[in-house]
Chains A and B, each alone.
Chain A
Amino acid sequence: MVGVALGIAAIAATLAMAAGCVLPERARVVWVGILTAASATAGGVAGIAVLAGSARFTANYPDLLPLGGIRIEFDALSAIFTVAAALVAVPASIYGIGYGLHGPSSRPVQVAYPLLVWSLMMVPAAGNVTGLVVLWELMAISSLILVLAEHQHNPEARTAAQWYAVVTHLSLLAIVVALLILAHGAGGESFAAMRSGAGRLGPGVTSVVFLLALLGFGAKAGVVPVHVWLPRAHPEAPSHVSALMSGAMVKLGIYGVVRVGWDLLGGGPGWWGAVVLIVGLASAMFGILHALLASDLKRLLAYSTTENVGLIFIGIGAAGLFASTGNRPLAAVALAAALLHVINHAAFKGLLFLGAGSIHSATGTRDLDSLGGLARRMPVTAATFAVGALAIAALPPLNGFVSEWLLLQSLVHSLPSKAVAVAVAMPVAVAVVALVGGLVAATFVKAFGTAFLAMPRSVEAEQAHESPRTMQIGLVALAGMCVALALAPTVLAEPLRRATVAVAGLSSGRPIHTNGVYLQLSGIQAGLSPLLLATGLGVMMVVALAVVRRRRVHHTVRDIPAWGCGRTLQTARMEYTATSFAEPLQRVFDDVLHPEIDVDVDHRTESRHYIEAIRYRRQTRDAFEQRLYLPLLGVVRRAGDAARRVQNGSIHRYLTFSLITLIVVLIAAR
């Protein structure tokens, strides 16, 4: 069953790529969308089958590639990530039909898209180093092509692609080195051999492998300080690709850290967990502070991805820390929280990116400061975006709340603990998660409020119209997923158990219990029922509405202009913008962010006491980019300039170099 479904996924993806190659423009978009959705559905079915209890699927294709061939090992941990990818990919593909008919539909884009979807689903299924590296590279290259999709009218896309290409390939280097050291030491390059042979490596070597893997996979996950490509590349890709990149691709970095660190290596000393935890805390804080100040909607969402990956890292790091102190049941709860957040984030971040895409294709802008009033013009987009915004803000009764609740429970119940690291880290972690939670709420009130509510701030926003039906289907499907995941997380108790058990170094037993509607945790006296919370809220709203309706005698609603403090003719210029909404919080975090603020005042020519116009501009630069990467790039450039002196165009000199190299190699290989 699992094998058949994976086979269908591969065939459908191949057909989709073929369709992208040969069909004419309009048919191409439609068929690529349909076939990719079919491929993603098949992949999702395979994942769900494993999570529902089918035996894990392994297959070996030794002749498919030189070196090691390709092995497939599809267990419950892989399945979580494959399902998360499929969850975004199916709606995104359908959405892509409508999006492609009005946007990028060139051949390379349409061929790369199915390849990206398929490789996203298959990377977690890889069961040996060769397979993982090949699939990883397919994913990286296809996504790179897609980031470049709109490069002709958008020069930003080119710099973004450069950053992305460089970081991705450096990260691949780190991953390959880590896995090769591990495979060499363990005496085999299949995951099974590495798992059983990892004990032969010394503690120093395992730590080196872990840190290299954390660097490489962390770069893909977009955590601080290797996040710089993410807020550049994600906004520039077409929106359904951004949804895939943020919803699914960054998760594979998380998958890699868990797979290598706590499955193949079988866990390590407590400081592994502490490092992951610290990276997570830093990413969460950094991501949300930048998202808070961003006024480019897709950039905001990209930074928020860094923040959410940070939260997932917090869960994994806490799990590692708990496991090293011997508290396995709590480690399982923390890991379950992280994995649930992987799926939840796929649903709501996919939804939000698709919503941002709808806004972009309707208005041509992503700048929140020039949007507004879209709730009336684009009701479906508005309603679904609202669901995504409430979910990502972890508000009950939506799905983000469930995973945040699990995470908080695992952190809070770590004390009293004998371990100093736990006792010191957990209060800090809870405080950061809480602050991040509050800032996320503020960020998404800003995003939804300034994009969809009030009056339009530009002509484009004024003339916006609802997007085509296929795009609406994608949005509604993902919003439905958010609600379903919120109301029935109890269904996921058993799959999450299977997935955590697959990670040998972290968990044992059953993290989440359920008796129908309640969610209960092992060893923790706390319960939650999202379904009953939602019901309660619904009932109370209906009662309140009934009371209001009954009391109202006249049943009239009068439309009146908004109160302008005695002044008539309110215009959109008087509204709060995204920039002004974030201003108080920007002041609070001024010392951390150091935003650059320019205020230009133009005076009238007659008298300098009369002001013609005031321009306010605020820009927040990425501190890591400024302090770390640009100096580093400067060093590289200077080294390159220095190396240029070696090349003077003389063919004799080049041949001399070859000769010297040959001699050195001969001596070295003696």
Chain B
Amino acid sequence: MSKTAFVQLLDLAAGLVLVISFAALWLRRLATVARMIAVQGLALAAVAAVIGIYEHESELVGVAVLVGILRAGVLPGLIRRAVRAGDELREVESIINVPASLLAASALTLVSYATTRDVVALSPAPQVRAIPLGIAVVLIGMLMIVTRRKAVLQMMAVLMIDNGIALVMFLGTSGVPLAIELGIASDVLLAVFILQVLTNRIRTKFGGTDLDQLRALRD
């Protein structure tokens, strides 16, 4: 693979990861958002694969395959089940409206760019230049956690944050040891399981997962 082709493919794949975060904020149906998270996992796997092929690291390619299975298959599958289990309205409910959350996400992208300037300046490698994209994905995931009402969406947001962290990891270290990736992935798996159990509990207790209503528990 030539250098320019590598840069091009890497930028496209990493850019796709970010654009999908925006799409997840924009879309209104829970099922579609879940699908977006799966596609984001695929794009993330593509990033790993591109780096692996370019640097001839077979282990990284292996990680890419694993990431693809886990993040585009297993985890989104769990979330889809959670969405299907909920008999409530299957639309995103948000504290701020869609255009406002999109604009906020754009601002977050700028923040991530402005704050990682020094990190990026450390190395001329094309991977490092794309690091702000990963940070932006993490920030957008947090924005989603903060502004969305449904617990299911919070689960998706956790996945998005994790995708962002993984992206930064791939770009920053050029190759993660398999063991670490596995460890992190199992952590996330655990988190998703716990969240799902919690969601189910909340639903059976209160008949819905609108987190705003949890405030009533305080008194």
Binding site for B on A (CB under 8 A): 420, 423-424, 427-428, 591
Residues of B within 8 A of A (CB-CB), count:
7
B110 pairs with A591, CB closer than 8 A = no
A424 pairs with B100, CB closer than 8 A = no
A424 pairs with B113, CB closer than 8 A = yes
The DSSP consensus for interface residues of chain B is: helix
Q: Cα distance A423–B113 when bound, in Å?
A: 9
A–B pairs, 6, beta carbons within 8 Å: A423-B113, A423-B114, A424-B113, A424-B114, A428-B110, A591-B100
A420 pairs with B100, CB closer than 8 A = no
Binary contact track B112-134/A, C-beta < 8 Å → 1, others 0: 01100100000000000000000
Please, which residue of chain B has its CB at the minimum distance from the CB of A420?
A: B114
Give every chain B residue within 8 A of A423 (Cβ-Cβ).
113-114
Determine whether B186 belongs to the interface, using a CB cutoff of 8 Å to chain A.
Answer: no
Taking the closest CB of chain B, its distance from the CB of A570, in whole angstroms, is 36
Determine whether B97 belongs to the interface, using a CB cutoff of 8 Å to chain A.
Answer: yes
Q: Cα distance A165–B65 when bound, in Å?
A: 72
- Restricting to B92-113, which residues have a CB under 8 Å from any CB of A? 96-97, 100, 110, 113
Give every chain B residue within 8 A of A427 (Cβ-Cβ).
110
Give every chain B residue within 8 A of A428 (Cβ-Cβ).
110
B110 pairs with A424, CB closer than 8 A = yes
Q: Give which listed residue, B96, B97, B117, contacts A420 with CB less than 8 A.
A: B117
Q: Cα distance A367–B97 when bound, in Å?
A: 33
Q: Cα distance A453–B95 when bound, in Å?
A: 42
A591 pairs with B113, CB closer than 8 A = no
Give every chain A residue within 8 A of B110 (Cβ-Cβ).
424, 427-428
Please, which residue of chain A has its CB at the minimum distance from the CB of B121?
A: A418
Please, which residue of chain A has its CB at the minimum distance from the CB of B117?
A: A420
Give every chain A residue within 8 A of B97 (Cβ-Cβ).
591
Q: Cα distance A418–B114 when bound, in Å?
A: 11
Give every chain A residue within 8 A of B96 (Cβ-Cβ).
591
Q: Cα distance A591–B103 when bound, in Å?
A: 13
Q: Cα distance A428–B96 when bound, in Å?
A: 21
Give every chain B residue within 8 A of A420 (Cβ-Cβ).
114, 117
Please, which residue of chain A has its CB at the minimum distance from the CB of B115?
A: A420
Taking the closest CB of chain A, its distance from the CB of B196, in whole angstroms, is 33
Q: Cα distance A71–B54 when bound, in Å?
A: 72
Q: A420-B114, A424-B113, A591-B100 are in contact. List 9 more A-B contacts (CB 8 A).
A: A420-B117, A423-B113, A423-B114, A424-B110, A424-B114, A427-B110, A428-B110, A591-B96, A591-B97
Give every chain A residue within 8 A of B114 (Cβ-Cβ).
420, 423-424
Give every chain B residue within 8 A of A424 (Cβ-Cβ).
110, 113-114
4 residue pairs, one from A and one from B, having the closest CB atoms: A420-B114, A424-B110, A424-B114, A420-B117
Taking the closest CB of chain B, its distance from the CB of A282, in whole angstroms, is 15
Taking the closest CB of chain B, its distance from the CB of A391, in whole angstroms, is 30
Please, which residue of chain A has its CB at the minimum distance from the CB of B100?
A: A591
Taking the closest CB of chain A, its distance from the CB of B137, in whole angstroms, is 19
Taking the closest CB of chain A, its distance from the CB of B76, in whole angstroms, is 32
Please, which residue of chain B has its CB at the minimum distance from the CB of A425?
A: B110
Taking the closest CB of chain B, its distance from the CB of A558, in whole angstroms, is 46
Q: Cα distance A360–B197 when bound, in Å?
A: 69
Q: Cα distance A420–B120 when bound, in Å?
A: 13
Please, which residue of chain A has its CB at the minimum distance from the CB of B96?
A: A591
Taking the closest CB of chain B, its distance from the CB of A430, in whole angstroms, is 13
- Restricting to B165-216, which residues have a CB under 8 Å from any CB of A? none
Q: Cα distance A427–B110 when bound, in Å?
A: 10
Please, which residue of chain B has its CB at the minimum distance from the CB of A589?
A: B99
Taking the closest CB of chain A, its distance from the CB of B129, in whole angstroms, is 13
Q: Cα distance A428–B109 when bound, in Å?
A: 12
Q: Cα distance A260–B96 when bound, in Å?
A: 42
Q: Cα distance A243–B97 when bound, in Å?
A: 40
Taking the closest CB of chain B, its distance from the CB of A67, in whole angstroms, is 48
Taking the closest CB of chain A, its distance from the CB of B72, in whole angstroms, is 32
Taking the closest CB of chain A, its distance from the CB of B135, in whole angstroms, is 14
Q: Cα distance A428–B114 when bound, in Å?
A: 14
Q: Cα distance A423–B100 when bound, in Å?
A: 22
Give every chain A residue within 8 A of B113 (Cβ-Cβ).
423-424
Q: Cα distance A614–B179 when bound, in Å?
A: 71
Name, among A420, A427, A428, the residue most crowded by chain B CB atoms within 10 Å (CB to CB).
A420
